[in-house]
Amino acid sequence: MSNMTNPLDGLLELQAGIESGLQMLECPGDNGLSVVFDQPEGVIRMTYAMIEDGMVIGYTVFVKDQPIGSVTVFNIGYAVREEYRGKGLATRIVNSSIDLLTDTMGLGGHFDSYYLEAIVGIDNLASNKLAHKIISDTPKQIVDKHSGEDAYQYLRLIEL
């Protein structure tokens, strides 16, 4: 049995990518975020990051998943470097990236809504607190399909 995906691992992989020349585009507005779109293994992924002096401080990643009915689902992961925690950055980065994703999804009029889903390990108190505040205050207790560990599923329908 594997462990649940740790978004901090993704933050460190993004950092390594930037150090190897990965180019991110600066997002519009004054949110301080940059974005990169890619399709590892053919799956759509959008990564938004706050970067200062070449260092990824925090990020949010959205990965397209199986739809619920006919509505697109994006799984969300988020992480902030330990030394930057407790300053509200995670809330700021997640909220701003959801706004940017929503704006992107609305372009071209192809979508009128999407689901945002976070799967958070029961013991991850900080991530549960954030997901409860931003995504849903009524999570469902589940067993994570990848790790087999107990988790909470937070689901939010976002109307465009």
Domains of the chain: 7-159 (3.40.630.30)
Give the separation between CA 133 and CA 30, rounded to whole angstroms.
Answer: 23
- pTM of the shown model: 0.94
For 70-95, the pLDDT digits (tens) are 999 999 999 999 999 999 999 999 99
The DSSP line for the chain is -PPPP-HHHHHHHHHHHHHTT---EEPSSSS-EEEEEE-GGG--EEEEEEEETTEEEEEEEEEEEEEETTEEEEEEEEEE-GGGTTSSHHHHHHHHHHHHHHHHHHGGG--SEEEEEEEEETT-HHHHHHHHHHT-SS-EEEE-TTT--EEEEEEEEEE-
Question: What is the Cα–Cα distance from 137 to 75, expressed in whole angstroms?
Answer: 17
pLDDT at residue 2, rounded to an integer: 53
Copy the structure tokens of residue 135. 């995504």
Q: Which residue has the higher pLDDT, 11 or 3?
A: 11
Sign of the Cα pseudo-torsion (11, 124, 74, 28, in order): negative
Q: What pLDDT, on the 0 to 100 scale, is given for residue 1?
A: 40
pLDDT, one tens digit per residue, over 100-143 is 999 988 887 778 999 999 999 999 999 999 999 999 999 999 99
* pLDDT tens by residue, 24-47: 999 999 899 999 999 999 999 999
Average pLDDT over residues 52-57: 96
